[in-house]
Chains A and B, each alone.
Chain A
Amino acid sequence: GAGVSQSPSNKVTEKGKDVELRCDPISGHTALYWYRQRLGQGLEFLIYFQGNSAPDKSGLPSDRFSAERTGESVSTLTIQRTQQEDSAVYLCASSLELRASDEQFFGPGTRLTVL
C-alpha cells in the first residue's frame, strides 16, 4: 500500500513538555529505523527495531528519548522534558529485513520545534 507515514507532520511544543512521534512503516517490513536531522547537520541515526525489539539503544541522544514498537508495525518515539536542542526533523524509515542490501524507505518526517 502506501509508503511510510509519520505523524504529526509538524509539532511545536514548549520546553519541558513531553512529545510523542509516530511512525507507520510499510506493511510487512520487519526493520524500522529512526533518524534525526538538525538544521545544517546530516541525518543522525537514533535507533532501529527488528520486529518489536530494539537491541541497541546507544544511538539515542539521552535518557529523555525512548522508542517502542508494537505488533511489528507502528513505532513511537517519545521525548520527555523537551529541550530546545531537540528541535529537528525526525525521520522514520523501514526496510523488508535488517540487511544492508534492503532499501530503506523513508517517511516524510516530523518537524519538531521546541520553544
Chain B
Amino acid sequence: AQRVTQPEKLLSVFKGAPVELKCNYSYSGSPELFWYVQYSRQRLQLLLRHISRESIKGFTADLNKGETSFHLKKPFAQEEDSAMYYCALDGMNSGYSTLTFGKGTMLLVSP
C-alpha cells in the first residue's frame, strides 16, 4: 500500500528563516512525488513535482529514494508562503493515476 507521512501539523517560522517541510513515503515501486499548496481562501494547487526538478517560488524538493523522503525546502521564508502544504504520491496503481496525500503541514511565517 502507498502511504505519505507529514509528521508536522504546524510549522511556525520567522520571515527570512529557512524552512523544511518533511514528507516521507511508503511505496514499493518508483513513485512520482508532488507538493500541493493551499493558500487561505484559495483552491488546492500544484506547487512542484519531483520529475520536473524545478524551483517554484523559491521552493525545492529532492526525492531521496534511500530515505524515502521528499522534503520541501526554502532558504528564506516569506510571509506570503504561509499556507497549507500537502505532499502527494502517485503510484500509478493498476496503470492509472491516483494521488495519495499526506495530512498536510500548516506553514506560518511571521514578520
Which residues of A line the B interface, CB within 8 A? Answer: 3-4, 31, 33, 35, 40-45, 48, 50, 55-56, 59, 91, 95, 98-109
Q: Which of A48, A99, A102, A106 contacts B44 (CB 8 A)?
A: A106
A31-B97, A41-B103, A105-B45 known; 18 new pairs, CB 8 Å cut-off, are: A42-B4, A42-B101, A43-B44, A43-B86, A43-B101, A44-B101, A45-B99, A45-B100, A48-B96, A48-B98, A50-B96, A56-B96, A98-B96, A98-B97, A99-B97, A100-B32, A104-B46, A109-B43
Complex A-B: 30 CB contacts under 8 Å: A3-B43, A4-B43, A31-B97, A35-B99, A35-B101, A40-B103, A41-B103, A42-B6, A42-B101, A42-B102, A42-B103, A43-B44, A43-B99, A43-B101, A44-B101, A45-B98, A48-B96, A91-B44, A95-B97, A98-B97, A99-B97, A100-B90, A100-B92, A101-B32, A101-B51, A102-B97, A104-B46, A106-B45, A107-B43, A108-B43
- CB-nearest residue of chain A to B44: A106
- CB-nearest residue of chain B to A31: B97
Supposing A103-B46, A106-B44, A106-B45 touch, asked if A42 and B104 sit within 8 A by C-beta, the answer is yes
The verdict on B94 contacting chain A, using a C-beta distance below 8 Å, is: yes
**Which residues of B from 71 to 111 have beta carbons under 8 Å from A?**
86, 88, 90, 92, 94, 96-104
In the A-B complex, the 5 residue pairs with the closest CB atoms: A43-B101, A42-B103, A100-B90, A106-B44, A42-B101
- The smallest C-beta distance from B38 to any residue of chain A, in angstroms, reads 9
Residues of chain B within 8 A of A45, CB atoms compared: 98-101
Q: Tell me the bound Cα distance from A55 to B96 in angstroms.
A: 10
